[in-house]
């Protein structure tokens, strides 16, 4: 109890099940609801804070405000119809959702994907990672500095760069967002003529602007003081809660599915995994910025060498009952910008096996949100917002 | 502690952007060009002879994940060739719930439904965004057509040794 | 001229000029911030969007002024106009030219500081009377911040007073005309006094990087959360007005008021005020904010001792140069 009164700092873990009656009879605890409608909870998310003055004593997160019954819908629609539906889970990096789903179906059906499609999927995944991290960075700056202030300036810059990548996707698939470009067995859209020079131009611009962001924000003492030592997630806590992705790597644990369990064409690429040891908000930001640079390097290596061949090993979809699986189960996971995004599918549902019997999506943001009751107590309300921004939850995939 | 010097660097970084050309344009007076494959709304097509291409087979109705298409089939005489063939007597596509996934375009056996590059204008009620058959046939002339139709998509995706068709070759 | 008539004319003219500049500062801020963010800013109403403040005003006026059922009605309704009144009151002693000054008080600086510290009260009133946890958090932070940053503000303002030997603002300007602007001469105390004055006055006005009382990403709208319609408009206006007043006061105390390299006059005062005003917006749209305890650390550990040292050095300078230059 003494520890709570003086605040939990550093790598100590708070007690998320703190009994408030025994906390301090003289403290006048105030309950503040951060959300569900709030300018900066990254979606509809309710965080019930028990405050002693401005210091947080206990945190109770509530999820489920964005539950749309996606997994139930997956039992009704057939496998070929599902790709545009799961696009909307992690609505910031749709390529990852599509790819994890079709990978699971391909494992279930035993379908092999041609090399051209796998190569293209790798390329699109890395471009999507750059776009997603840019969006995160802008939103993080907004959490720190406010929608009317320096944070929104950086937000606009990040979106300006992100539009370059979205323009590339628009040329390839026709949609800036929620592309529906993956199918079981390959991809639906092929590379248009003249795409490669545009990709080069886009990533060159983004790389140049990253150093501007450093001048603007990440080397600024105000930012460093707001993020250093705040919201420390240490390795054991992350492992206990199943946290993956940049949050885990910032805690010092070197784990990245692209290198440790390669899929697509990642076994041919040497992915340099970025890690930090501090585990605080600044470390998570640094990991993500390093990941942008690494993705830029990978895209630059890949874009000029797209192999010849067909884009799909199955015939194009002409009816919803094109793919059927009467039994079996499969799991496929990939490294989304937030962590391990996995899909577990059990075949043999309705429509004579064209629908899955059960589809479970393992979303990384849900596990990351579980760490909040352990790391927030002892900080103030401003820190709560900064920490929530730095762990990058996307409520679409938390609630599905 | 070095708040002043750091702040001066941030100030210079933001001032540099004042002298760059703005990225935004004054929409809707200025519109940007959209790429070839852009998907925004729908159109039903007539063939060269002027006959409606849709045969009312309901393939698009079955594939649609959002279940927004309703098609009714009728067999009648063609006004152009005089032969009896299948038509769609009713075709309703509700863009209120459309997710623009392009699956209906891909499955059409007659290449009848395509997407167009100009989106529907905002309306004040939901009925305004429900595309009836009349509006879908109007869109063929009102809005620029997107590149993709069923044949081209199937060609792009078919398995085979040759590499897929790209937009430039198709022109 | 009858002093009552003179007073009335000055009141009307100064109030109108300040309010008009504040209203068009909304346009300027949105255009300037738009350019900094690589976008266009308002372009629709009027040429280059110049009628945007008019439209914003009309929009706010026609909205319903909602008073929450559990709010303290009197305080809730009185707080916004009180903020505006206090911000405008400071304009009474600012010298715009050698002979254009509404009230040439002998204790001008003291009057300014007194009104500046009074502005904390309506901010607290609006937060407390809203009966809203976010507003109350914002109000408490505002009071802590406002009261703490009074001290560096007073100390920084004392430096020109000591150097000029008078609290009257027009005397300070006349001294600067004779001896040089305080921001640049005497080298040392004057320059650092300006560097301390600026953050202290930004903190008084709750501007970024010290805007934790109305931190939008954390507290929705801070003290102004429950305000709608013209109540919100007045609070918003009062913040810009306070910023304008700070720019005017800083240009009087540190940059020589109506002095200029050639043809001294009203235009120089206007130019300097607007330049500082634009600079404060520039700072707002480029920096992220401090946390409240970091704010307090800066105030009590850096600005207050520094301010004391500055005042001492200003006093020593005056002593050793026998009040001359």
Question: Quick check: bond before C190 cis, omega within 30?
Answer: no
- Region B44-52 average pLDDT: 87
**Cβ pair A221:B2 closer than 8 A:** yes
Question: Cβ of A226 and C290 within 8 Å?
Answer: yes
Are B169 and A186 in contact (CB < 8 Å)? no
* Cβ within 8 Å of A, B 128-167: 146-148, 153-154, 156-167
- Residue A155: list chain B partners with CB under 8 A: none
Q: Name the residue in chain A with its Cα closest to that of B60.
A: A319
Which residues numbered 17-56 in B keep a CB inside 8 Å of some CB on C?
17-18, 20, 22-26
Give me the CATH topology for the region B37-170. Alpha-Beta Plaits (3.30.70)
Nearest CB neighbour to C287, from listed A40, A148, A150 = A150
Is B97 within 8 Å of chain A by CB? no
- What is the rounded distance in angstroms from the CA atom of residue B110 to the CA atom of residue B154? 12
| Span B148-164, pLDDT tens digits | 888 888 888 877 654 44
Sheet containing B69-77: give its strands across.
B69-77, B84-94, B130-131
C-beta separation of C203 from C299 below 8 A: yes
Distance from CA of C285 to the nearest CA of A (A): 4
Strands A55-62 and A182-183: unpaired
β-strand partners of A52: A55
Terminal alpha carbon distance of chain B: 62
Residue A296: band (very low, low, confident or very high) from pLDDT cuts 50, 70, 90: very high
From A160, A170, A220, residue closest to B38, measured CB to CB: A170
Higher-confidence position of C189 and C123: C123
Mutate to test the interface with A, among C35, C217, C298 (most CBs of A within 10 A): C217
Q: Compute the Cα dihedral for C319, C322, C323, C325 and give only its sign.
A: negative
Do C146 and C242 form a contact (C-beta atoms < 8 A)?
no
Separation between Cα atoms, residue C255 and residue C184, nearest integer Å? 8
Q: Do residues A9 and A49 share a domain?
A: yes
Q: How far apart are CA C6 and CA C4, in angstroms?
A: 5
At residue A94 the predicted structure's pLDDT band, cuts being 50, 70 and 90, is: very high
At C52 the three-state DSSP class reads helix
> What per-residue confidence (pLDDT) applies to B162?
47
Q: Name every chain B residue with its beta carbon within 8 A of the beta carbon of A173.
A: 37
A148 with C216: Cβ contact below 8 A: yes
Average pLDDT on A242-271 reads 90
Contact assessment for residue A214 and residue B4, using Cβ atoms and an 8 Å cutoff: no
Which of A10-14, A39-43, C139-143 has the highest average model confidence (pLDDT)? C139-143
Residues from chain C that touch B11, judged by Cβ atoms under 8 A, are 282-283, 286-287
Q: Which residue is associated with the tokens 């309710």? A: A46
Residue A2 banded pLDDT, cuts 50, 70, 90: very low
Q: Give percent of chain C above pLDDT 90.
A: 10
> Chains touching chain A at 3 or more Cβ pairs under 8 angstroms?
B, C
How confident is the model at residue A5, as a pLDDT?
Answer: 39
On chain C, the residues whose CB falls within 8 A of the CB of A382 are 212, 215, 218, 291-292
Strands across the sheet with A329-336, in order?
A: A329-336, A339-346, A358-362
**What local confidence, expressed as pLDDT, does residue A10 receive?**
52
A31 and A380 in contact (C-beta within 8 Å)? no
Whether residue A240 is found in the same domain as residue A320: yes
Tens of pLDDT along A362-383?
999 999 999 899 888 888 888 8
Please give the pLDDT value at position A335: 92
Which 3 state secondary structure label does DSSP give A96? helix
Helix, strand, or coil here: A187?
strand
Contact A150 C217 (CB under 8 A): no
* C-contacting residues in A 73-132 (Cβ below 8 Å): none
Please say which residue of A62, A80, A95 terminates a domain: A62
Distance CA(A380)–CA(B1), nearest Å, equals 21
Q: What's the rounded Cα separation, in Å, for the pair A284 and A250?
A: 5
Q: Is A359 helix (H, G, I), strand (E, B) or coil?
A: strand
Q: Which of the listed residues A62, A84, A112 is the one where a domain comes to its end? A: A62
Q: How far is CA A88 from CA A66, A82, A186, B93, B103, in A?
A: 11, 11, 20, 21, 16
Cβ neighbours of residue A79 under 8 Å, at least 6 residues apart? A105, A184, A323, A325, A354, A355, A356
Helices and strands in chain C: count of H runs, count of E runs: 13, 0
In chain C, residues with a C-beta closer than 8 Å to the C-beta of A148 are: 208, 216, 284
Q: Are A52 and A72 in contact (CB under 8 A)?
A: no
Q: Closest Cα partner for A144 from A394, A371, A374, A388?
A: A388
Interhelix angle A115-145/A281-302, rounded to 10 degrees, is 150
Q: Using CB atoms, which chains have 3+ pairs under 8 A with C?
A: A, B
Minimum-distance CB partner of B3 among A174, A175, A221: A221
Q: Is the pLDDT of residue C156 over 60?
A: yes
Co-location of A122 and A57 in the same domain: no
pLDDT of residue A8: 46
- Nearest alpha carbon to residue A97 among A165, A167, A178: A178
Same domain, A55 and A91: no
pLDDT bin (cut points 50, 70, 90) of residue B165 is very low
Min distance C185 CA to chain A CA atoms (Å) = 30
Q: Which of A44, A62, A80 is the last residue of a domain?
A: A62
Token pair of A148, please? 């009317």
Closest-approach residue (CA) in chain A for B37: A174
Tokens representing A40 are 């900066």
Would you call C282 and B4 a contact, using CB atoms and an 8 Å cutoff?
no
C280: nearest CA in chain A? A149
Q: Which residue of B has its CA nearest to C298?
A: B1
Are the C-beta atoms of residues A91 and A68 closer than 8 Å to each other? no
Query: Average pLDDT of chain B?
Result: 84
Which of A87, A173, A187 lies at the smallest CB-CB distance from B37? A173
Per-residue pLDDT reduced to its tens digit, C179-210: 878 777 777 778 888 888 888 888 888 787 78
> What ipTM score was computed for the predicted complex, to two decimals?
0.86
Sheet strands (E) in A130-222: 182-183, 186-187
**What mean pLDDT value characterizes chain A?**
87
Residues of chain C with C-beta less than 8 angstroms from the C-beta of A224: none
Q: Is A385 at the interface with chain C, CB within 8 A?
A: yes
Q: Are the beta carbons of A40 and C218 separated by less than 8 Å?
A: yes
Interface test with C, best of A149, A162, A220 (most C CBs within 10 A): A149
Contacts A182 to B, Cβ<8 Å? none
pLDDT digits (tens, 9 = 90+) for A177-213: 888 899 998 898 888 888 899 999 999 999 998 988 8
Residues A116, A50, single domain; the answer is no
Strand partners, B116: B41, B145
pLDDT band for A134, please (50, 70, 90 cuts): very high
- What is the residue-averaged pLDDT of chain C? 85
pLDDT at B169: 36
| pLDDT tens string A302-360 | 988 888 888 888 888 888 888 888 888 999 999 999 999 999 999 888 888 889 999 99
Q: Indicate whether C166 pLDDT > 90.
A: no
Closest CA relative to residue A15, chosen from A32, A33, A1? A1
Question: Are the Cβ atoms of B17 and C39 closer than 8 angstroms?
Answer: no
Contact by Cβ (8 Å): A287, A142? no
pLDDT in tens, C218-273: 666 677 788 888 888 888 888 889 889 989 999 888 888 887 788 777 888 888 89
- Could you state, in order of their start, the residue ranges of all structural domains in chain C? 69-320
Q: Strand B41-44 relative to strand B113-116: parallel, antiparallel, unpaired? A: antiparallel
Q: What is the pLDDT of residue C44?
A: 86
Report d(CA C255, CA C262) in Å as an integer.
Answer: 15
List of residues 6+ apart from A218 with CB closer than 8 A:
A224, A285, A286, A289
Helices (H), B54-166: 59-63, 103-107, 133-142, 150-157
Look up the domain containing A38 and give its range. 2-62
Q: Looking at chain B, which subunits does it touch, using at least 3 CB pairs closer than 8 Å as the criterion?
A: A, C
Q: Which of residues 319-358 of A touch C (CB under 8 A)?
A: none
Interface of A with B in 137-196 (CB under 8 A): 150, 153, 157, 160, 163, 167, 170-175, 178, 180, 183, 185-194
Q: How many domains does chain A contain in total?
A: 2
pLDDT of residue B63: 92
Residue B75 three-state SS = strand
How many CB contacts within 8 angstroms connect chain B with chain C? Answer: 41
Q: Would you call A193 and B165 a contact, using CB atoms and an 8 Å cutoff?
A: no
Cβ B146 vs Cβ B117: under 8 Å? yes
A223 touches chain C (CB under 8 A): yes
Mean pLDDT, rounded, for A144-162? 84
| Gap between the Cα atoms of A326 and A355, Å rounded | 9
State the maximum Cα–Cα separation within chain C, in Å, rounded to a whole number.
Answer: 63
Let me know whether A319 and A253 are in one domain.
yes
pTM for the full predicted model:
0.89
């Amino acid at each position: 109890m003494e520890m709570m009164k003086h605040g939990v700092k550093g790598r100590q873990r708070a007690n998320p099940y703190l009994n408030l009656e025994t906390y301090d009879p003289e403290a006048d605890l105030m309950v503040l609801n951060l959300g569900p409608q709030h300018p900066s909870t990254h979606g509809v998310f309710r965080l019930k804070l028990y405050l002693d003055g401005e210091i947080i004593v206990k945190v109770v997160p509530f999820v489920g405000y964005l539950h749309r019954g996606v997994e139930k819908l997956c039992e009704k629609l057939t496998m070929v119809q599902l790709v545009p539906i799961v696009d909307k889970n992690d609505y910031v990096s749709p390529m990852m959702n599509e790819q994890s789903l079709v990978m699971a179906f391909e494992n279930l059906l035993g379908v092999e994907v041609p090399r051209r499609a796998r190569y293209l999927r790798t390329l699109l995944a890395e471009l999507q990672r750059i776009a997603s991290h840019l969006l995160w960075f802008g939103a993080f700056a907004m959490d720190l500095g406010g929608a009317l202030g320096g944070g929104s300036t950086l937000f606009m810059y990040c979106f300006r760069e992100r539009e370059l990548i979205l323009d590339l996707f628009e040329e390839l698939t026709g949609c800036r967002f929620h592309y529906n470009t993956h199918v079981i067995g390959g991809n639906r859209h092929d590379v248009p003529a003249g795409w490669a020079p545009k990709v080069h131009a886009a990533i060159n611009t983004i790389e140049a602007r990253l150093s501007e962001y450093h001048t603007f924000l990440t080397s600024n003492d105000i930012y460093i003081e707001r993020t250093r030592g705040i919201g420390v997630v240490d390795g054991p806590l992350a492992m206990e809660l199943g946290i993956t992705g940049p949050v885990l790597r910032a805690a010092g644990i070197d784990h990245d599915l692209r290198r440790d369990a390669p899929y697509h064409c990642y076994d041919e690429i040497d992915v340099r995994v970025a890690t930090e040891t501090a585990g605080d908000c600044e470390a998570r930001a640094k990991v993500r910025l390093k990941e942008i640079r690494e993705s830029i390097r990978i895209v630059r290596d890949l874009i000029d060498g797209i192999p010849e061949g067909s884009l799909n090993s199955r015939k194009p979809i002409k009816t919803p009952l094109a793919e059927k699986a009467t039994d079996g189960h499969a799991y496929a996971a990939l490294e989304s910008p937030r962590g391990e995004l996995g899909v577990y599918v059990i075949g043999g549902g309705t429509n004579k096996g064209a629908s899955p019997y059960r589809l479970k999506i393992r979303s990384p943001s849900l596990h990351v949100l579980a760490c909040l009751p352990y790391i927030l107590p002892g900080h103030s309300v401003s820190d709560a917002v900064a920490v929530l921004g730095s762990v990058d939850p996307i409520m679409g995939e938390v609630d599905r | 502690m070095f708040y002043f010097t750091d702040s001066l660097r941030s100030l210079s970084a933001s001032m540099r952007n004042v002298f760059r050309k703005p990225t935004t344009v004054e929409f809707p007076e200025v519109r940007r060009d959209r790429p070839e494959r852009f998907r925004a709304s729908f159109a039903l097509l007539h063939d060269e002879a002027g006959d409606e291409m849709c045969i009312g087979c309901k393939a698009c109705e079955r594939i649609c994940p959002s279940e927004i298409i309703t098609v009714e089939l009728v067999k009648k005489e063609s006004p152009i060739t005089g032969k009896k063939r299948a038509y769609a007597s009713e075709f309703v596509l509700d863009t209120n719930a459309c997710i623009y996934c392009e699956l209906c375009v891909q499955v059409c056996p007659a290449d009848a439904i395509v997407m167009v590059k100009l989106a529907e204008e905002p309306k004040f009620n939901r009925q305004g965004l429900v595309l009836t058959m009349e509006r879908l046939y109007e869109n063929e002339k009102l809005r620029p057509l997107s590149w993709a139709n069923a044949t081209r998509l199937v060609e792009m995706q078919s398995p085979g040794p040759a590499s897929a068709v790209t937009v430039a070759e198709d022109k | 001229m009858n002093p009552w008539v003179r007073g009335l004319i000055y009141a009307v003219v100064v109030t109108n000029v300040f309010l008009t500049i504040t209203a068009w500062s909304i346009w300027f801020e949105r255009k300037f911030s738009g350019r900094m963010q690589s976008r266009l800013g308002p372009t629709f109403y009027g040429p280059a969007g110049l009628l945007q403040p008019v439209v914003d005003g009309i929009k706010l006026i026609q909205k319903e002024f909602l008073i929450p059922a559990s709010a303290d009605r009197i305080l809730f309704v009185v707080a916004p106009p009180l903020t505006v009144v206090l911000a405008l009151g400071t304009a009474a002693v600012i010298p715009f030219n050698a002979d254009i000054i509404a009230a040439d008080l002998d204790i001008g600086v003291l009057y300014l500081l007194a009104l500046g510290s009074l502005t904390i009260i309506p901010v607290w009133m609006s937060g407390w009377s809203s009966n809203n946890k976010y507003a109350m958090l914002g109000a408490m932070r505002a009071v802590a911040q406002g009261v703490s940053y009074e001290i560096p503000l007073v100390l920084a303002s004392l430096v020109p007073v000591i150097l000029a030997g008078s609290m009257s603002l027009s005397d300070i300007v006349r001294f600067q005309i004779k001896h040089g602007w305080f921001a640049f001469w005497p080298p040392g105390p004057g320059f650092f006094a300006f560097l301390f004055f600026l953050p202290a006055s930004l903190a008084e006005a709750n501007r970024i990087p010290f805007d934790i009382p109305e931190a939008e990403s954390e507290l929705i709208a801070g003290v102004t959360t429950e305000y709608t319609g013209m109540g919100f408009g007045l609070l918003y206006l009062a913040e810009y007005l306070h910023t304008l007043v700070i720019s005017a006061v800083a240009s009087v105390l540190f940059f020589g008021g109506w002095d200029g390299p050639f043809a001294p006059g009203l235009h120089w005062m206007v130019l300097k005020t607007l330049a500082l005003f634009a600079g404060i917006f520039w700072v707002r749209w480029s920096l992220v904010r401090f946390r409240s305890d970091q704010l307090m650390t800066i105030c009590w550990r850096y600005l207050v001792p520094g301010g004391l040292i500055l005042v001492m050095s200003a006093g020593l300078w005056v002593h050793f140069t026998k009040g001359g230059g």
